[in-house]
Structure 1
């Protein structure tokens, strides 16, 4: 038997240990290859969104490659630590350090080459499906299948280089221990885990700092501060706080000293300490991936809410009152060509600022002012409650369901900076999910025309020029209000796209500044959906890789500790521990290692993205984050059941 055969037999006989690492590496190669298949597709350049989609794919492929580098390095390091006994035996039999290094190098390259071949082969089988899925999600023309020779060469060269560099680099980390230490392997007794109270308090302080930094004022400095303190605090949470908690729990006889609870709690303190770095890495990676997915889902949900919250399919705003009748001919022409019935409503709105707002670094709260006569026409279209009359110092308020009314109405009235001498008594408040057609977070104040003119004149006098209201033409199309979202081929989307092109041409031809703006509800929704779909598609596969890799990390650690655990449970079985009790204890320990990173990263994601999306006016954050982590939970549960069954199966063989 020559040396390469010896390396091959080593890999073959340790297949159980290498299988998770091999499959995870092959999966990363497959995803990287799938991205390159899209990037170098000959028809991508001919598509309007193709180049931007290709750039996104390149970013995703780079993330996969960088993550694969650290994943492979960590995995190889874990295997080397678990093979001390084997290296000790080889040393006794006369193997030189150079031969052991050669053996490790050949094994790493053999597994790497097999993973590359498997990954590219799997990618070839799934490339047609990948192209079909990517074009459907992103919303571009279907890309036909082609023979991806260039992606195959790029993928193979990239990962051969990766495995080669890491295989050479890890040889520097093979410990030159004495033979006795190598023969002891992982059988040396572990020292009792200890946690520093000061470092635990420091970790808690870091996490607290990160939490409040995002709630003081959002700017690049506070975001960086929150990121640094949050990541550092997460490390101290696993290495100090969690160990301290388990040690304190151990001392509580009332809660811990019953049944097998003391056994798994005591062992858990060791596992948390030994796996603190791994759990920290899994938590940070999962949190980052989930934050991206949570942001995309939140924006998508906000887009759906804005679509359904806007009862008007088309809106045209004139910022400067024209001398003649405002031109809306392009809207009338397109709606008539579509053959749909519609209503046109005009409202003239004036901006105002709420008095006593804008302190503590916050922006002043704004309002839209609307005359009572125009409200009556608008109410007839939307089905709002009738308001027959208002006194000179009376008003009504229309707000969306997301608005905080108490921020605007104080002591039953509204006071504006443009009209500070009078407080308008709010006689009626209308809360409606159809109040989003102007601005989701800005209420509309209904006042008599005389009061509106007084405020307009006061604003004009203050700035020294004539202030005129914005003119809004609102078009309601009952045929398009069917309770479903528009598709790219729907009539609303087609009309909206035509109006959008007309609006862009008018904006480009108008060198004197923006005087009007045309907004089509369906086009806005589809543009938002298309932009986030690309990010969603990329993040799905990146999140899959992170999830598979985290499960592999845990499998590596459990397998490397399997020999020590077998000795412990075998000894306990001799003094009465049953197979069922062993299974229950092991299941609890594995479940904690699998699920605690998910729950910690879910909390971190909510803490981080809530204030960031709040600045964007998106308040529905909890539901998208929970949906993201529910998907993670399902996927991780599948891995948990697989790893747990294999681990317990190995332990059962050694029970007395």
Structure 2
């Protein structure tokens, strides 16, 4: 019998390990390809309504890449661990290390090709279903499904890079082992290098300290500080997980009856935890990330209408100048004032913008408004004296923070003279559509307004604020008006002065409408929510496979261990109870830890919006999603328990 025949016969007998390894790689490719059909969709990249979505999708993309790296690498390690004794046997029969390398490369190459074919095929079928469900759920049926070369290329690059690295590392280890080491590779227990309850306690303290610092500095935290506290938290989490059982056993020893009745369970769990620290860490972080982002995005998705109403007191708003958006009002009304949706209110607020260059060569913008029109806008009865102004900040008073530069008084240049104005009062409330870009306004008397028009070089414009009967039905009218404005603006000379130094002409004169804001927010957050739900399903499924792989990788050794302890008097009932307790710790501790950390991050995130008690809807969303996950995890536990009991007692 030739070596090829021996290898083929052993492969047929041990087909389950090959099948499981093949399925792990196929699923990884399929999930990555399904995600890429959304991430690299050309219409999503080009659609104005989804501007910024590509950057927001980067977070789940990175999470999926990290998961793919760990998932493929880990499944490969388990596969190679099971093949170790076979390679040792081949070597005792005379096969050289070069022959082993050929076998290793051949079987992994075949599995890789089959995985690529089945993963791409499965991804093409299921990605279309996923894409249609996703786009129909968020109301973007006009975006078509398509498969491009970029999607295939990035999927192949990601898989082959991870897979080749894993195979190369295994090849290196196999070629540098002798026959004895190779034969015993799947029977050698992993060394437990450190047992330090103090270190575990220190990790827990680091976690709590990071969360507290994060909570108290969140409002002023920079991206670097957020990254620092998150990294410190994860470091503390790893130490806590690695030394969790050592810490728990140390506490249990203080209660001798409790400790000795559970001695076998505690020592077995201690070994398991130190073996599985990396897996448990990954599962905990995956649960934390998915629960946090899914909850936040669901809250954003469901609050899209409320947010649009808060940001846009008027249904339609735009800025008009002498050369931009300056079509006759009769034409504007012919587009907006429809029989089924009449215009209810229309305000025209004149503003005058003055730009002052600072010593850093930055253009500072002062926007002036006459007090009479301010009173018309706000229904106030304010008065302003000579050389005074009201600082009107068009923001939600709960979140708005005034600019100290406006509160210290201002000075303007009029010819060769410097004119100074002093602050009379600061007013913070949302009276106009926020995205107009005119959130800091200086209200002056009518006389001062006329003086500024005649003596200070600036730019005059008019803000139009319009309400209709039903803003939710105004999308067609707003789009038609936008097209008419675009056509008119293209026929006039482009603006090349200071006004467009930091913003494009199109952005400066765009229509800010309630209906477009609502649909944009709903669509973007809807896509992100459903993508994160998809990623969550992958993570939930993947976390179970990772735990399942490691638990059942050493099932033969576990079976031998339980046969030995069965001979010294342990009963089948006690074996089942110990298996259940151990699996419950492995499955539910990461779930509880990840859920707790996700909830604490949500509590921290809501500090800027009144705290968690003022955002109970977010808390409710979290508990619903967490409950669903725990139910799924319970199903995983029952299945794993059933399979493990069958294996150990057969």
TM above 0.5, one fold?
yes
Task: Summarize the alignment of residues 465-504 of structure 1 with structure 2, pairs less than 5 Å apart.
Answer: 474-480=465-471, 486=472, 491-501=473-483
1:600 correspondence with 2:593: yes
Aligned 8 A contact 2:343 2:469 in 1:
yes
Alpha-carbon distance, 1:276 to partner: 0.8
For residues 422-446 of structure 1, the C-alpha deviation after alignment (integer angstroms, 9 at most, x for no partner) is 999x9xxxx9xxx786669xxx9xx
Alpha carbons of 1:578 and 1:19: their partners in 2 closer, same or farther (altered >3 Å)?
farther
- Among residues 512, 516, 524, which one is paired with 1:523 in the alignment? 516
Which residue of the partner structure matches residue 253 of structure 2?
Answer: 251
Q: Which moved more, 1:571-580 or 1:104-113?
A: 571-580
- Among residues 202, 219, 222, which one is paired with 1:219 in the alignment? 222
For residues 28-83 of structure 1, the C-alpha deviation after alignment (integer angstroms, 9 at most, x for no partner) is 22234445667898x96997579989978997888756753443222222333355
For residues 371-414 of structure 1, the C-alpha deviation after alignment (integer angstroms, 9 at most, x for no partner) is 999989989xxxxxxx9x9999xxxxx99999389x99xxxxxx
Which residue of the partner structure matches residue 337 of structure 2?
Answer: 336
Aligned equivalents of 1:376 and 1:654: distance in 2? 81
Aligned 8 A contact 1:57 1:538 in 2:
no
Aligned equivalents of 1:582 and 1:469: distance in 2? 84
- Among residues 236, 241, 247, which one is paired with 1:238 in the alignment? 241
Aligned equivalents of 1:421 and 1:254: distance in 2? 74
Which residue of the partner structure matches residue 645 of structure 1?
Answer: 639
Q: Which moved more, 1:113-122 or 1:136-145?
A: 136-145
Aligned equivalents of 1:404 and 1:162: distance in 2? 45
1:589 correspondence with 2:582: yes
Aligned 8 A contact 1:579 1:652 in 2:
no
For residues 500-552 of structure 1, the C-alpha deviation after alignment (integer angstroms, 9 at most, x for no partner) is 44566677767364887742101111122333444445444444433333222
Alpha-carbon distance, 1:249 to partner: 3.6
Aligned 8 A contact 1:287 1:602 in 2:
yes
Alpha carbons of 1:539 and 1:8: their partners in 2 closer, same or farther (altered >3 Å)?
farther
Give the CA RMSD over aligned residues.
Answer: 5.9
Aligned equivalents of 1:612 and 1:108: distance in 2? 46
Which residue of the partner structure matches residue 411 of structure 1?
Answer: none
SS at match of 2:338: helix
Aligned equivalents of 2:126 and 2:423: distance in 1? 71
Unmatched 5+ stretches in structure 2: 352-367, 385-392, 410-420, 500-504
Task: Summarize the alignment of residues 264-303 of structure 1 with structure 2, pairs less than 5 Å apart.
Answer: 264-288=265-289, 292-303=293-304
Alpha-carbon distance, 1:607 to partner: 5.0
Aligned 8 A contact 1:286 1:598 in 2:
yes
Unmatched 5+ stretches in structure 1: 351-367, 380-386, 393-397, 409-415, 445-451, 481-485
Which residue of the partner structure matches residue 68 of structure 2?
Answer: 68
1:549 correspondence with 2:542: yes
Aligned equivalents of 2:52 and 2:7: distance in 1? 43
Alpha carbons of 1:333 and 1:537: their partners in 2 closer, same or farther (altered >3 Å)?
same
1:314 correspondence with 2:316: yes
Alpha carbons of 1:376 and 1:436: their partners in 2 closer, same or farther (altered >3 Å)?
closer
Alpha carbons of 1:73 and 1:192: their partners in 2 closer, same or farther (altered >3 Å)?
closer
Aligned equivalents of 1:477 and 1:596: distance in 2? 54
Which residue of the partner structure matches residue 173 of structure 1?
Answer: 173
SS at match of 1:194: coil
For residues 181-207 of structure 1, the C-alpha deviation after alignment (integer angstroms, 9 at most, x for no partner) is 844843659769612525742663366
Alpha carbons of 1:315 and 1:581: their partners in 2 closer, same or farther (altered >3 Å)?
farther
Which residue of the partner structure matches residue 565 of structure 1?
Answer: 558
**TM-score (structure 2 length as normaliser):** 0.68
Alpha carbons of 1:46 and 1:608: their partners in 2 closer, same or farther (altered >3 Å)?
closer
Aligned 8 A contact 2:314 2:467 in 1:
yes
Which residue of the partner structure matches residue 117 of structure 1?
Answer: 117
Task: Summarize the alignment of residues 2-13 of structure 1 with structure 2, pairs less than 5 Å apart.
Answer: 2-4=2-4, 6-13=6-13
For residues 135-178 of structure 1, the C-alpha deviation after alignment (integer angstroms, 9 at most, x for no partner) is 434725253778x8997788668756754553233211236156
Aligned equivalents of 1:203 and 1:178: distance in 2? 43
Which residue of the partner structure matches residue 362 of structure 2?
Answer: none
Which residue of the partner structure matches residue 403 of structure 1?
Answer: 398
Alpha-carbon distance, 1:615 to partner: 6.7
Aligned equivalents of 2:209 and 2:461: distance in 1? 46
Aligned equivalents of 2:617 and 2:319: distance in 1? 34
Alpha carbons of 1:623 and 1:653: their partners in 2 closer, same or farther (altered >3 Å)?
same
Aligned equivalents of 1:378 and 1:217: distance in 2? 32
Aligned equivalents of 1:456 and 1:598: distance in 2? 67
Alpha-carbon distance, 1:560 to partner: 1.9
SS at match of 1:343: strand
SS at match of 1:337: coil
SS at match of 2:549: helix
